[in-house]
Amino acid sequence: MASGSAWDQESKKLESIAGDRRFDRRYSILLDLQWKLIHRKRVLDAGAGKTLDVSGGGVRFESGRTLPKGLKVELAISWPILLRGLAPMQLVVQGRILRSEGGRTAIRMIQHEFRTVGISTHLGSAPSKAGRPHMPFLPNINAMASLRKIQ
């Protein structure tokens, strides 16, 4: 019986080595996003996709094609919650591509911030001052606190 327990301990050691060794917990969440591939401050390529999972250290997303490892990418992720119940937001993430295969890309996050998108008008009609409430806080929100400050 002693040899059986030694085998179990050895097996558990191997499982922990082969298992997921990431530092940050990943959250499976599907959100729409726009991505831009950037090299030397120039946009080389752009596209749309969806997040697959997000963590404090990175994002895995559907890019639609294989992207070059090591290049910088910027993601504008549509956030599912309105600021103060009024203004749509997006999470803007900048990072480096760690791997990309089969239209799925993983990045290591370098920087991130929330930004407001603006208030959409109904059915594409011209905006009307009478049709929307006065919101003096909106112009000052583009530089919102990072996720780490919120957590």
Domain ranges of the chain: 25-118+135-150
pLDDT score recorded for residue 75: 97
In the CATH scheme, what architecture does the domain 25-118+135-150 have?
Answer: Beta Barrel (2.40)
pLDDT score recorded for residue 120: 56
Q: In 3-state terms, what secondary structure has residue 32?
A: strand
CA distance 15 to 128: 61
Say whether pTM exceeds 0.75: no
CA distance 63 to 102: 9
CA distance 94 to 110: 6
Low-confidence ranges of the chain (pLDDT < 70): 1-23, 119-151
CA distance 68 to 107: 11
Spatial CA neighbour of 90 closest among 136, 13, 33: 33
pLDDT score recorded for residue 15: 47
Cα dist. 22→60, 112, 124 in Å?
13, 19, 44
Beta bridge partners of 109: 95
